[in-house]
Structure 1
Amino acid sequence: MELGLHIADFTWDGGVPELGRRLADTARHAEASGISRITVMDHYWQLGGAIGPPENAMLEAYTTLGFLAAHTERVLLHTLVTGVVYHPPGVLAKQISTLDTLSGGRAGLGIGAAWYEAEARGLGLPFPPVSERFDRLEETLLICLGMWSGKEGAFESEHHRLERMLNNPRGLSDPHPYLMVGGMGEKRTLRLVAQYADACNLFGGPEVPHKLDVLRRHCDDVGRPYDEVEKTATISADVGSGRDDLVKRLLELRGAGITAVYVFGQGFPDPRAAADLVASALPEVADA
């Protein structure tokens, strides 16, 4: 099992003036500790609930990933996950290609159908009904895969029209940057994973075995080997979480078929402490 550090909370000691220094230091520290992936949310406001109110500090995702690329050498970098309504598909494909090129082939795209309506409305972003968002998600996957493959022709669908999908450089990853579709939806999300993605991402919990069974059926339906899809999950850890509890949860997910887990810290005033907690579990859960 691989472990990733998902950075979802930026309310750290020192406040905004220290964000850049602490983020760079934490990324370097996490990489040196054996953590193989670092991700950020593609949000403009904090989510509310246990992580914090919308007014809390939130960094724009792709600027942040470019910053992280400059301060790391090996970790995979992507969002967990981009809302499909937040970026025009052609621009999104270019953003990932650019990040992949400048990071030495370490970029990925995590994407989903979007859910944070208040954020979208607040910032003037489109937020169509859920059925249209899923249509746009599939169209975006096709556009990104087309642009990453070097296709330069036109693309026209119900919601998008690109006259020329020129994309140079295409990135360094072969055959294309890592592609994850995040979400738990059984009818459309997991089917899109089976059709197009390198990985799924689920919320770690008791539903995981059932969701993976659904994914397996979708893979059978589209004629794709189930083992080709990486199975990942996301879980949280707060300042009161102990190593033993985290290891127990990770081993349960590994037993269910999950091979990579992204852990995000809640309430850690020093982000290095969250990275240390994640790294402390590696000896118990890493594959022999």
Structure 2
Amino acid sequence: MRLRIFTEPQQGATYETLLAVAKATEDLGFDAFFRSDHYLKMGEVSGEPGPTDSWVTLGALARETSRIRLGTLVTAATFRLPGPLAVAVAQVDQMSGGRVDFGIGTGWFDTEHTAYGIPFPALRERFERLEEQLEIITGLWRTPPGATFDFEGSYYRVADSPALPKPAQDGGPPVVIGGLGTKRTPRLAVAHADEYNVPFHQPNKTGAAFDRVRAACQEAGRTKPMVYSAAQVVCCGRDDAEVARRAEAIGREVPELKENGLAGTPAEIVEKLGAFAELGAEHVYLQVLDPHDLDHLELLSAEVLSKL
């Protein structure tokens, strides 16, 4: 199992704060640094100094790190046109030497769309647009050098595209698709994903979602392996007092965190990670909600990561 650090910058983080987290992620032995793709804060926080763009951030971090993988969990398909998004992600992949994982989803937070003038279609249309975006983005990346790419869909048309630039990774960055949808999500994952992620659910629901995607892979005759992963908020402390202090800092209650995330002493967290490992989770994204608490990362590295 690989542990990945996952941040939520819209809650309040500068680029310099994210850079410090990414460098600590690399220095402490974690597998990857991921960030959300949001333009508006959630809950009772100020969100100041305001949002940072995910792919601008990752492009900068690509030049400031050398080992860790970099990605989004997940880019909202509503935010960007597929062609320019394919260009941006391919460029960041080049800048990182092939260390990008590309998470993408429908987008869901309608208020942030209103706040920044972004159209927010109904869910069915968002899924249809996401599917067309996936076909275009991966099609552009996989078009052989010297050939052109065309696509005619209900929402997007691509004609005689040179399909440039190419990502550093052959065929493009691994695609991550997540969610608990019972029909459309498994179908999209089977067709387009290298990794299927279940965010913020207990092991029983996570396992059921994994099984639905496994069944969909088998039904479709997919032979390419699928990576299964989970995302969990993390709140670790050496003792109960330290756990309580970190929970208070992120506005959460310890009992709720223990039920719905990874909270407690390192031994408690290692035990719960074992439950996800038994379900087949190869990656676990540790959602770090206080990006200024680098001591938290040091504890997770020394007492959790070292035990896996």
Q: If the length of structure 1 is used for normalisation, what is the TM-score?
A: 0.89
Partner of 1:272: 294
The structural deviation recorded for 1:70 is 1.5
| Cα distance in 1 between the residues matched to 2:4 and 2:291 | 19
Partner of 1:121: 114
Question: Aligned residue for 2:166?
Answer: 170
Displacement of 1:137 in angstroms is 0.9
Q: Is the 8 A contact 2:197 2:230 kept in 1?
A: yes
Quick one: which amino acid aligns to residue 216 of structure 1? R
Pair 1:244-2:237 in alignment:
no
Q: Secondary structure of 2:78's partner?
A: helix
Deviates most, 272-281 or 32-41: 272-281
Is the partner of 1:44 in helix, strand or coil? coil
Q: Aligned equivalents of 2:232 and 2:25: distance in 1?
A: 17
What residue identity is the alignment partner of 1:93? A
Q: Report the number of matched residues.
A: 276
The percent identity for this pair of structures is 30
Match of 1:219?
217
Provide the aligned C-alpha RMSD in A.
2.0
The answer to whether the 8 A contact 2:197-2:231 is kept is yes
Tell me the alpha carbon deviations over residues 161-218 of structure 1, each in whole angstroms, 9 at most, x when there is no partner: 1223323221111232111112111111122111111001102413011111100111
Deviation of 1:9 after TM superposition, in Å, equals 4.3
Q: Does 1:104 align with 2:97?
A: yes
Alignment match of 1:83 (pick from 68, 76, 79): 76
Contact 1:45 1:56 in 2 (8 A): no
Tell me the TM-score normalised to structure 2 length. Answer: 0.83
Task: Look up the match of 2:153.
Answer: 157
Cα deviation for residue 279 of structure 1 reads: 1.9
Gaps of 5+ in 2: 236-245, 248-262
SS of the residue corresponding to residue 65 of structure 2 reads coil
The partner residue of 2:20 within 13, 17, 25 is 25
Cα distance change of structure 1 residues 244 and 9 upon mapping to structure 2, 3 Å threshold: farther
TM-superposed deviation, 1:11: 6.3
State the alpha-carbon separation in 2 of the partners of residues 187 and 90 from structure 1.
Answer: 27
Q: 1:185 matched to which residue of 2?
A: 181
Q: Which has the higher contact order (CA 8 A, sep 6+)?
A: 1
Shift of 1:269: 6.2
- Distance in 1 between residues matched to 2:206 and 2:128, nearest whole Å: 25
Residue number in structure 1 paired with 2:2 = 2
**What's the secondary structure of 2:165's corresponding residue?**
coil
